[in-house]
Amino acid sequence: MSKIKWLSNVKLETGERLLENGTVETETAIFHLKIENGKIVEQLYVNEPIPSGQEVINMKQRLALPTFKEMHNHLDKTYMTLDWKACTPVANLKERLAFEAAELTILSDTAQQRATKMIETLLENGSTHIRTHVNIDPYIGLKNLEGVIAALDTFKGKVTADIIAFPQHGLLRESVPTLMREAMRSGATMVGGLDPAGIDNAIEKSLYEVMDIASEFNADVDIHLHDGGFVGYYTTDKWIDIVKDAKYQGRTALSHSFCLGDIPVAQQKLVASRLAEEDVAIMSTIPINLGRVIPPIDLLDDHGVKVHFGCDGFYDSWSPYGTGDVLEKATRFCELTRKIDEKSLRNSLKWVTGGIVPLNADGHKVWPNIQDDASFVFFEAASSAEVVARKPSDRLVMIHGELV
Amino acid sequence: MSSLLIKNARLETGFIYENTRIVGTETSLYDVLIKEGVIVEVEKNIPQSSYEVLDADGKLLMPSFREMHIHVDKTYFSGPWKACKPITNGILTRIEEEQVLLPTQLPYAQDRAENMIQWLISQGHTHIRSHCNVDPQIGTQHIELTKAAFKKFEEQVTYDIVAFPQHGLLRSKVEPLIREAMRMGATLVGGVDPSVIDRDIDRSLNLTMDIAVESGKGIDIHIHDPNSLGAFEFYKLAELTNQAYKQGQVTISHAIALGDLHGTELEEMVSALAEAKIDVTTTVPINRPTIPIPYLHENGVSVSIGHDSLTDHWSPFGTGDTIEKLSLLAQRFKYIDEYSMNRCWKYASGGIMPLSDKGEVVWPQKGNLANVLLLDAECSAHAIARRRPITHVVSQGNLVFHNGESLKKEVLK
């Protein structure tokens, strides 16, 4: 049975105009959208009547934007729902991992409860897709994976997810390759990896192992790469070779990739072209701690590399900060790179929507279209530029025509 | 002024140790009695008597905030959305823009100033220092309207008005207007980049100090000039400050150059500023080197924070949320443990914190001004890390804000 309803008085971006003083203004108009089976099937102008006798939800001229994609998180690590606890300072990554190892078995009992709270927080803020890394390690095996899958199961139909088997404590040690394969058979949907130089101390072997598992299960890949400078650069370059050989174009991503910010611009351009060619995406959490270099996102974008933002794990043993609002990452990125005009603010929405924006670079409407999912975040705002600059906290999230 | 008894407020009482490391903040519930705008008693159980009672219900009581750098007179806040015009001619783009824009905004500038003040109060600020344009187009009209706006909030917030020659003290020939602004009640003499704008560092700084001396007031000057140029100006200003006996009355806003200096250069600079008792205000920018805030504090230069803009023709960003700002500051300096996050509050409260560095209770005490916040938080580190909400604001003993929802919906734009 098909379910029909109308969303009345929806504000959509329709174009742009150039003002005399040289600034661009986004044009919007009000529409009524007909929703059938969770999809947009018809669009009326505001002055056209909605057929009587059908369910109508009045959106009161709120601006509809695409829902967000949270592309880098660790649902299994958060302390959410537990007592407040700050982090323990450590001297280096090794100590941090040792500290985490000591906590893992205690925390794994509450994995589902903690992950559920994190998913709720992300969803409230407008994310309807979550890419989560989940620890697969010798201490807890698949316990966190079970908790995260159970938590995500209760959001079926609302939240889609990538569940990445993540060898946080090293891929090449002891039982981990076996555990990783077990994880892939137990509900993980993607293969993760971590610092082939810094953690695994075997760049090629680590990368090949990741690709072996991925090929074995026909799964996509997302590798954490914190290794800085040229060792990170080489790792990236080598990974591109492996992707090319395995014909894995469009199926892999590198997370963080600080190294791309460390290398000279000429090299950045070179690697950007190669990333684009093999369609390797870059995930960034837009860190702002002093001294932290981030990848040259605008340059990557100019070369056609797909870039996505994520909140990263938070309220956990790594970081006491965070909000669960991936839109804030777009705001912060604009602040960081001084994007202050309508067009550049507007275009920056794509980093948190998986590339979807209402207007293309020329200011022509490209979203939403008939047959698109009726999934939106609604804001009381004049344009997506305002949303990116002001990150309004009042929002309504709609998935397949249903308000969350 | 009446009395107010805050029952069951959570106060920070010490640090919790695991071996030698601080792992938490100890808190305990107290009653706080306020009379005539001053805290007169902090005890476990104060009889209700005939006082007006506010039950804090275990919420955390902390010193209120001071917004130390904002421009309430020229804002888009509470008005329709407008992005910024791309910059084509450096800072002059904005000055040219202001010559047209500010006269256009005059009819509603006071209204927006009031909305912004109200919003800042709801965000826990009980003192606001606003820079206020004095320029050839606007004359002293912004001083007038800023005074009128603050007057409406007299019981709720104290303030400073900085007479700010945005278009250059020399360049736009506003010396007589600045002197007039001081006579009208501006409480500080402002200034901006004496090199870039006035093209005459010596004359610009000297004249600024002359006006300060004549009016018997202090100075708060915007200096964005980087590295050696900024440093040169800071030394000049320190020298003038000492000569004029204005120690403790001079602020450098932004002081971007401090983020560029290192080693002995930074040490010498900081000791010159400390000697002249010059303080610094920062917005904790993320798009340029943030000044070494903890280092400055440890070496005798006090640091305050401000939001600068909550959306205007200079910047589309800014929230007025100082908890968020403290969170950013702490994150920027990689503070992740209880103790270092606990030590951040002072940058937003004029130096006031419940605990000393050693963990002794130093606030609130009998005789302290009753400028306090209640927060839905377990301790200040928790509030900063997880950006916990402010539920009540008490200014000079008056409850001036409670229940975040109503105000938030009205003016969040």
B contact test, residue of A321, A336, A339, A343 with most B CBs within 10 A: A321
Bond prior to A368 in cis (omega within 30° of 0): yes
Pairing of strands A395-399, A402-403: antiparallel
Scanning B321-350 for CB atoms below 8 A from A yields 327-328, 330-334, 336-338, 341
Q: Would the pLDDT of A23 be above 60? A: yes
The amino acid occupying position B391 is T
* Joined tokens for residue B328: 């950013």
- Choose among A84, A338, A394: nearest Cβ to B382: A84
Phi/psi at B60 (nearest 5 deg)? -75, 130
Across the interface, of B81, B331, B409, the residue whose CB is closest to A321 is B331
Pairwise CB contact (< 8 Å): B413 & A320: no
- From chain A, pick out residues whose CB is under 8 angstroms from the CB of B389: none
User: Of B286, B328, B336, which has the smallest distance from its Cβ to A86's Cβ?
Assistant: B336
Which chain A residues have a beta carbon less than 8 Å from that of B379?
A: 84
State the pLDDT confidence band at B144, using cuts at 50, 70 and 90.
very high
Chain centroid offset of residue A331 CA: 15
pLDDT score at B409? 31
pLDDT for A231: 97
Q: Is the pLDDT of residue B179 over 80?
A: yes
Q: With a CB-CB cutoff of 8 Å, which residues 135-194 of chain B face chain A? A: none
For chain A, the residues whose C-beta falls within 8 A of a C-beta of chain B are 21-24, 84-89, 288-290, 315, 319-321, 323, 331-332, 334-338, 340-342, 345, 380-383, 385-386, 389-390, 392-394
B33 in contact with chain A, both atoms CB, cutoff 8 A: no
Q: Which residues of B touch A320 (CB under 8 A)?
A: 336, 341, 381, 385-386
Average pLDDT over every residue of A252-266? 97
Give which of A61, A290, A380 to mutate to test B binding, by max B Cβ within 10 Å.
A290
Q: pLDDT tens digits for A42-93?
A: 999 999 999 999 999 999 999 999 999 999 999 999 999 999 999 999 999 8
pLDDT at B87: 87
Q: CA-nearest residue of chain B to A318?
A: B336
**Alpha-carbon dihedral B40, B44, B47, B53, rounded to 10 degrees:** 70
Check pLDDT > 70 for residue A309: yes
Give the closest of A321, A331, A386 to B327, CB-based: A321
φ and ψ of A395, to 5 deg: -145, 155
ipTM of the complex: 0.92
- Chain A residues inside the 8 Å CB shell of B382: 84
Confirm if B260 and B266 have CB atoms less than 8 A apart.
Answer: no
- Residues B328-352 have pLDDT tens digits of 999 999 999 999 999 999 999 999 9
| Res. B408: pLDDT tops 60 | no
Instruction: Give the pLDDT of residue B79.
Output: 96
Confidence (pTM): 0.94
d(CA B371, CA B399): 10
- Listed range (A299-313, B8-22, B79-93, B352-366) with the worst mean pLDDT: B79-93
Higher pLDDT, A22 or A384: A384
Put simply, whether B290 touches A (Cβ < 8 Å) is yes
Give me the pLDDT at residue B411, please: 36
**pLDDT over threshold 60, residue B410:** no
CB contact (8 A) between residue B379 and residue A84: yes
Are A347 and A361 contacting, i.e. CB atoms less than 8 angstroms apart? yes
